[in-house]
Amino acid sequence: MAYLLSCSALQAQAQVPNQTSSVSSSKTANDTVVVSGSRSASKLSETAASIGLVTRAQWDEEKPKSVGEIINRIPGVFWNDLGNEQHSMSIRQPISTNAVYQYLEDGIPIRPLGVFNHNALNENNMNAASGVEVVKGAASSLYGSNAVGGAVNFLTQRASRTPTGFWGVRVDDTDGFARVDSGASNTWGDLGLRFSHYSSHRQSQNWQEYSGGSKDSFSLRADFNLSATSWMRASFIKTNLDSETPGSLFETDYRNSVGKSLNTFTWRKDIASRANVAWEGETNKGGLTTVTAFARKNDHGQLPNYTITGCAGTVCRGTLNNNHVESLGVDVKHEQNLAWNKSKLVSGFTIDRSQNDYVSDNLAITRDTATGRYVSYMLNSAKNPLGVRNYSADIANNAAFAQIEFVPLEKLRIVTGARYDSISYDFQNNLTPGANYGAANEVRSFSRVTPKLGATYALNSDNSFYGNLSQGFTPPEVSQLYGKTAVPDLKPAIYDNTELGWRAALLDGSVKLDSAIYRLDGKDTIVSYTPAVGDSGNKNAGQTRSEGLEIALSQDGKWMDWRVGATWAQHTYLNYKVSDKVGAIEDYSGKTMKQAPAHAINASVAYKFAPGARIALTLIKQGSSWMNDANTVKYEGHTLFNVHASQKLQGGWEVWGQVRNLTNQRYSDSASSSYKGTGTYSPNMQNTYQLGAPRSVMLGLNKSFGA
């Protein structure tokens, strides 16, 4: 979005202590400054962790339709599109909805611990971000529980120094999609303000039946200089998403139908608000303290398609539910430069208190057996009370962390740290506990200390190496414990991460390389076990192993730029045995985890054929993956091509266009099967596919005001 600060302006701001934006250098791979690797501004070359980042300039250049289109260019990251900004995620883990990621905004979790939602990134305002940084691998030593596969940190834009504004519109007739973007910013003396907004709408009937939706998102950020050594930042964001949910298709419809939906009434409505107020100042010589007070309020109501199950003839079961969360908390961080060996200490604590209220009713759903569509529903609580829920949980999360960096040798930097997290659930069942209405009242607690040890070595100004040993910690979620009738015997999952990386500026600094090889060993990994389509539960897998290689290469020239992000990965159950409903043992030890593509490539080449003009071809390749844990049903993978062209005109105007899925491939980002590898194989009852979009054309027009 053209109203955002230029790259040179962002680089100038990197010298300001309260800068929250990532900064990308134009010269060498080792000039890049990030804030997510140590919770303070640091050179990427001195960060002992794998971090992928996308700058606002790159965001504006590619004009993504969703968050996924921009972060998927980072090797090892895959945002799985579920429609209308709904998504699941894969960062050094299989594609899943599991709580193994931490989603952040300016370093503060978007959602409280214990109430993870795989759709949480739709609570962000894409227009308000100055960039995004993704810490890959276990990062619990800094960001606490759930930061196992990675931590995704969106950085908000501060105000521009002079008046700026932006307006843009885009339409995609194939998808029935339209979006309007707007924003304005200025600084008056010591006070700077930035307003960012976008509103999108997708028609209900487009290439896909029953897939409409709308989103309205606005943000306001204020920055105020209190003195030469202290300042304040306040931000508020509100998003409202209303989406129909067509769901997935069985085998025959996926292969033979274009855009069919089995669902005609399922939906999801999300209303999310967040407010942060941060004070930051130099509290002592060489010391910088940040105190952030934050509040959240979320309502997530849905009639979910994925709970429709148990069909007998024309009658099926379903649910209607609402999940409400309110939070208050404070996050305190202190950075202290020490005289000894160029050392730096970053430490702090977090206190987060949340109230989680959940209600769920059962539905009787009517299915048209001729078409397979679910056509109507009615409340069915009295006849089928099993699964009716009405509970609340008070969530208390306390944490403290410390990390120290020092330079024992001229080119060697060591970092070591740890974090203590405790979480407790005070569960209150508002119904009579028992066989139908859930568990009895209880208080359940979990805690863990997660350490990290890492090092970076600067071979020269263009080459640096790093390695780290770190640990991740994931306690069971509220819904995993109390969503069913009985409380499952779930233990926290522990992950040990080993990683080596090489960053370089090759060919006289014109080509940037960022690579990593990793192994992530999980113990008691919490996985979703599916004994039948639509029926799932949570279990601890004994041991899992995820290992892989990630490579990012890029070059930005006067007439041409290109990038390649490639990932090769293997996700394995080292030890995983479960019992099915009739007591038989299913042993998946040694099997590849489902929905875990063996490789992925996201690459682009662009030609700048005239001043202000650019045309780019993008390749998106997803390798084959097993659809079930028994490794007997496979998704073949897919290869897609996108084209993007833009032309900047005089007066701040820009016209642009995109063609997605240029060759009109049939594909699925998410394919799974409930077939266990034995007994009767019924693809049209056991295999499900989330259908990808066909070829579509989007056109856009932008107008920017001010410098």
Q: Give the model's pLDDT for residue 537.
A: 65
DSSP code string of 77-101 = EEEEEEETTEEEEEESS-SB--S-E
Go through 79-116 and write b for each residue having 16 or more CB atoms within 10 A of its CB, e for each that does not.
bbbbbbbbbbbbbbbbbbbbbbbbbbbbbbbbbbbbbb
Averaged pLDDT, 490-503: 94
* pLDDT tens digits for range 531-548: 555 455 677 778 999 999
Of 278, 207, 211, 201, give the one whose Cα is nearest residue 241: 201
Q: Is the dihedral of CA 219, 223, 224, 226 positive or negative?
A: positive
Query: With 80 as the cut, is the pLDDT of residue 560 above it?
Result: yes
Residues 157-179 as b/e (b if ≥16 CB within 10 A, e otherwise) read bbbbeeebbbbbebebebbbbbb
Q: CB of 553 within 8 A of CB of 515?
A: no
Give me the residue label for tokens 């490579």.
551
pLDDT (tens digit per residue) in 587-634: 999 999 999 999 999 999 999 999 999 999 999 999 999 999 999 999
Can you give the pLDDT at residue 17? Answer: 36
Query: Smallest Cα–Cα separation from 366: which of 357, 376, 356?
Result: 376
Q: Tell me what pLDDT residue 637 has.
A: 96
HSE at residue 283, side-chain half, CA atoms within 13 A, is: 12
Q: What is the pLDDT of residue 19?
A: 38
E strands, 557-652, in order? 560-575, 577-579, 585-587, 599-610, 613-622, 625-626, 634-635, 638-648
Specify the pLDDT at position 478.
93
Largest Cα–Cα separation, the chain:
76
Dihedral (CA of 9, 11, 16, 19) sign: positive
Query: For residue 119, which amino acid is it?
Result: N
pLDDT for residue 46: 87
Closest to 177 in 3D by CA, of 70, 81, 78:
81
Q: Give 226's strand partners.
A: none
Q: What share of the chain is helix, strand, coil (3-state, %, to 5)?
A: 10, 60, 30
Whether the CB-CB separation of 189 and 159 falls below 8 Å is answered with no
Residue 54 has pLDDT above 80, yes or no: yes
**Separation CA 104–CA 38 (nearest Å):** 14
Between β-strands 625-626 and 696-705, what pairing exists: parallel, antiparallel or unpaired?
Answer: unpaired
Residue 326 CB partners (closer than 8 Å, separation 6+): 295, 296, 297, 298, 354, 355
- Of all residues in the chain, what percent carry a pLDDT higher than 90? 77
**How confident is the model at residue 694, as a pLDDT?**
94
Helix (H, G, I), strand (E, B) or coil at 252: helix
108 has pLDDT over 50: yes
Mean pLDDT of 386-396: 93
699 is written with which tokens?
């056109």
Report the chain's terminal Cα–Cα distance, integer Å. Answer: 13
Give mean pLDDT, residues 384-394: 90
Residue with tokens 């409930």: 674
Question: Each residue of 394-435: pLDDT tens digit?
Answer: 999 999 999 999 999 999 999 999 999 999 999 999 999 988
State the average pLDDT over residues 142-167. Answer: 93
Per residue in 211-237, pLDDT (tens digit) is: 999 999 999 999 999 999 999 999 999
pLDDT at 669 over 50: yes
Per-residue pLDDT band at 529 (split at 50, 70, 90): low
In the structure, what pLDDT confidence band is assigned to residue 581 with cuts at 50, 70 and 90? low
Residue 27 has pLDDT above 60, yes or no: no
| 585: exposed, middle or buried (Cβ count in 10 Å: 0-12, 13-18, 19+) | exposed
The rounded distance, in Å, linking the Cα atoms of 154 and 103 is 8
Q: Is the pLDDT of residue 707 over 80?
A: no
Q: What pLDDT does 509 receive?
A: 85
Please tell me which residue, 581 or 365, carries the higher pLDDT value: 365
Query: Taking 60 as the threshold, does the pLDDT of residue 1 lie above it?
Result: no
Tens-place pLDDT, residues 68-97 = 999 999 999 999 999 999 999 999 999 999
pLDDT of residue 585: 80
By mean pLDDT, which of 363-372, 481-490, 561-570 is the weakest? Answer: 481-490
Contact between residue 572 and residue 592 where contact means Cβ atoms under 8 Å apart: yes
Q: Phi and psi (nearest 5°) for 474? A: -130, 105
Tell me the β-bridge partners of 136: 50, 150
Please state, as a whole number, how many other Cβ atoms lie within 10 Å of the Cβ of residue 428. 14
Residue 18 has pLDDT above 80, yes or no: no
Per-domain residue ranges of the chain: 7-705
Domain 7-705 of CATH type 1.10.1740.10: no
pLDDT (0 to 100) of residue 531:
56
